[in-house]
């Protein structure tokens, strides 16, 4: 377990929100390239926003069952992006993109996360989200007790996190990273700078509590 939980803020659509997220200490910024999402941006817009990111803040391009052509265009336009597959993509399809990627797992009772992580052994990490109608962005949390210990890939905790809940989430799951979208918004796709700051501060507070327990 890393001593510092990484922070991804997803679903950004505006320059001011990107700048505020970076200023708050986000490690990664997510752009939704799925046109059915209320937080969707075009490939060109994602590339424009990604150019604002300083070194060591990673752009993440989120896809849901994208066509090979759409995926190729995005990879060309976002050469530094980590890919995030949030639909029903097969391990072969994820690997064929030829780039480091996160694979989203839709958590529900009976779901075998260890088997899923083994099948997606080439993933840089497994993102845990609630199993809801559609593909993420619902603001719904899942039962954290469903996460087994010792998942063989780095875990990114997502699903309904906000400044009030993320401390408990980090302390319970001990993820490599956390991912927030609706929990720091004033409206869908519009981030709130104060909520983003409070979220990042809460993650650091969780890390400090974990360090205190360890000592």
Catalytic residues: 10, 129
Instruction: Provide DSSP, the chain.
Output: --SS-EEEEE---SHHHHHHHHHHT-SEEEEE--TTSTTB--HHHHHHHHTTPPTT-EEEEEESS--HHHHHHHHHH-TTPEEEE-SS--HHHHHHT-S-EEEEEEE-TT--HHHHHHHTTT-SEEEEEE--SSSS-S-----GGGS-SS-SS-EEE-SS--TTTHHHHHHHH--SEEEESGGGEEETTEE-HHHHHHHHHHHHHHHHHHHHHH-
């Amino acid at each position: 377990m890393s001593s510092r939980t990484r922070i991804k803020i997803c679903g950004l659509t505006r320059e001011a929100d990107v700048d505020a997220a970076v200023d708050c200490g986000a490690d990664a910024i997510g752009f939704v390239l799925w046109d059915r999402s209320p937080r969707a941006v075009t490939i060109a817009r994602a590339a424009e926003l990604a150019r604002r990111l300083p070194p060591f803040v990673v752009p993440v391009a989120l896809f849901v069952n994208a066509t090979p052509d759409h995926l190729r265009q995005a990879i060309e336009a976002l050469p530094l992006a980590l890919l995030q597959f949030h639909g029903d993509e097969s391990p072969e399809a994820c690997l064929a993109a030829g780039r480091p990627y996160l694979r989203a797992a839709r958590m529900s009772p009976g779901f075998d996360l260890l088997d899923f992580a083994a099948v997606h052994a080439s993933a840089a990490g497994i993102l845990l989200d609630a199993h809801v109608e559609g593909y993420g962005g619902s603001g719904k949390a899942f039962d954290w007790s469903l996460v087994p210990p010792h998942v063989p890939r780095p875990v990114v905790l997502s699903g309904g996190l906000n400044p009030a809940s993320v401390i408990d989430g980090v302390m319970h799951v001990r993820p490599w990273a956390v991912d927030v979208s609706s929990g720091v918004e004033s409206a869908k796709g519009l981030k709130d700078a104060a909520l983003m700051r409070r979220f990042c501060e809460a993650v650091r507070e969780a890390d400090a509590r974990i360090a205190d327990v360890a000592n």
